[in-house]
Amino acid sequence: MNTILKDRYKILQTIAQGGFGETFLAEDTHMPSGRRCLVKQLKPINNEPQVYQLVQQRFQREAAILEELGRISSQIPQLYAYFESDGQFYLVEEFIEGETLTAKVQSQGIFSESQVRAILMSLLEVLIYVHSKHIIHRDIKPDNIILRQPDGLPILIDFGAVKESMGTVVSPSGNSAQSIVIGTPGYMPSEQAAGRPVYSSDLYGLGLTMIYLLTGKIPQELDTDLLTGETRWRQYALNISPTLGLVLDKSIQPHLRDRFLTATEMLSALQNQTTPVPSTIVSPPIAAPATVVTAAPTASTVMQPVSSRQGLAEWQKAIVTGSIIGSFLLAALLVNHYLTTSKNDPPSPPISQETPPEPSPIAVSPTPITSPNAVAPSPTFSPQETFEPTPEPSYIAPSPLISQAEAVNLIERWQTAKREIFGSNHAIYLGDEFLTGKAYHENIRRTDGQESSSEWLLNNGSYYQYGVQSVDSVQNLASSGNQAILEVVITEERTLYDSNGNIDYTASGFDTRLVRYYLQLENGQWKISDYQTIKVIREN
């Protein structure tokens, strides 16, 4: 006590101690107000000179990130300073007046649903910003959220990235690596415990934190379904609304594929009062015959079954005939175009880049699919099988069409997943949720002994970083049975970094394209089986 660090920060008391160091309440003697601040002392687990230099570099990088986060968001503590002294690393942060969620529950009891909703929505807004900077908090729990006085806003503290830099070691091959996993048991999912956190990992901890507010139960006090691995908590919060309950259920699913992928998706489900369905389940819409949907803002026309006792009216016959002919024409054109280009054109570059025209290091060769389970690279429309007219007075046989909203949602979620699959996290396993057939073969895992796009990136220490990603408009949607074709305009900004951190400009770009996606219904879930760039609309 009364130690003065850097001839400026007077230590007043110790607030916390842990494996990574200590946290002190201090007074800034260089400020007229003598403002109070937090001083965090961080200790590397290895003091070898080579390791120390790596820790120093990472500490500076992570401190710069914390500075930017706190400068932009009022719900993240500001970073005032950072420095090194006697082999120790120090962060000087804004001191937040208030109580942690743990302390609040212990002193006042559980929270009401309206309070939990307000806190959850506020923190999701913070995470949307944090994740947009490609930062994962890694340790979201009640102790790391402070309700600030006097405005009551939840403040997110204690980011794990700086702690992780303290765990840097050097492997026998001479490469730097991490020897520790950041997170708190019970609040971190399996992929984070395995050292592969993703954005959804933060949402898992956030969901369990909200359940703690509603029930007063920490994860270790909740039962687990032995068959599904799901956490049972509803019996302790019987009066919550179905929407909030389902949102929290989905956020804490044991399998990553069943959770929200982004904070935006979770916030939307909460705000829209919709019932979120796990992403691995796609409920087919009401049965209807094949039709062509245009990009018009109004809902697409769906033909309803007509009673067999009454037959079809003349105007109904005309509409049915027009739909069949239109579907024939579009399907024939697409299949003919695809078959022609597949024979004469060079192979498509990886879907992670939405087929940029220039060759890139991760372009794949035109080796045919050899997997016995592979799906054909493009939808096949058979008039005899799919569109065969039924004689009067029977009605048109129904088929499981995908709606425009479902199709666009699939592409938007895929765009988000690309950040994890082709980014520095190399979460290749996410490809199982979105891809099948040729798209899966070329981008996730090949069966011909060659490297897929994601495998090439991982093996070469390269990764993509994405900026803008948006689905700007829908041009066409054709659906028949278990297959569909969606044409959308997509804007995407991507930067490829090599193993030395240098940008490969030949495989980087920022453009707007008209992209055709081939979709396949597989085990009740729509996936992307192939893709094709129709034209480049704009390049920057």
Return the active site residues. Answer: 139
Q: What whole-number distance in Å separates Cα of residue 211 and Cα of residue 219? A: 9
The whole-angstrom separation of Cα 221 and Cα 207 is: 15
Could you count the other beta carbons within 10 Å of the beta carbon of residue 508?
18
d(CA 97, CA 90): 21
Phi then psi dihedrals of residue 476, to 5 deg: -155, 155
Nearest to 247 by CA among 280, 273, 224, 223: 273
Q: Residue 29 and residue 7: Cα distance in Å, rounded?
A: 8
Report the 10 Å Cβ neighbour count for 153: 18
Residue 146 CB-half CA count within 13 A:
17
Q: Is 101 exposed, middle or buried (0-12, 13-18, 19+ CB in 10 A)?
A: buried
Angle between the N-to-C axes of helices 113-132 and 263-271, in degrees from 0 to 180, rounded to the nearest 10: 150
> Rounded to an integer, what distance in angstroms lies between the CA atom of residue 163 and that of residue 40?
11
Q: How far apart are the first and last CA of the chain?
A: 57
Determine what percent of the chain falls in helix, strand and coil, rounding each to the nearest 5. 35, 25, 40
525 close to 513: Cβ distance less than 8 angstroms: no
Q: Are strands 36-42 and 88-94 parallel, antiparallel or unpaired?
A: antiparallel
Question: 3-class SS at 88?
Answer: strand
Place of tokens 């790391």: 144
Record the tokens describing residue 36, joined without a space: 């109070």
- 3-class secondary-structure state, position 106: helix
Amino acid at 418: K
Tokens of 439: 């798209």
Exposed / middle / buried, residue 251 (Cβ in 10 Å: 0-12, 13-18, 19+): buried
Phi-psi region of 17 (alpha: psi -120 to 50; beta: other; left: phi over 0): beta
Q: With beta carbons less than 8 A apart as the criterion, state whether 300 and 491 touch.
A: no
- Measure CA 143 to chain center: 25
The alpha carbon of residue 161 and the mean position of all alpha carbons in its chain are separated, in whole angstroms, by 19
* Bridge partner residues of 90 (DSSP): 41, 83
Q: Quick one: how far is CA 418 from the chain centroid?
A: 8
Residue type, 484: A
Cβ atoms 314, 306 nearer than 8 A: no
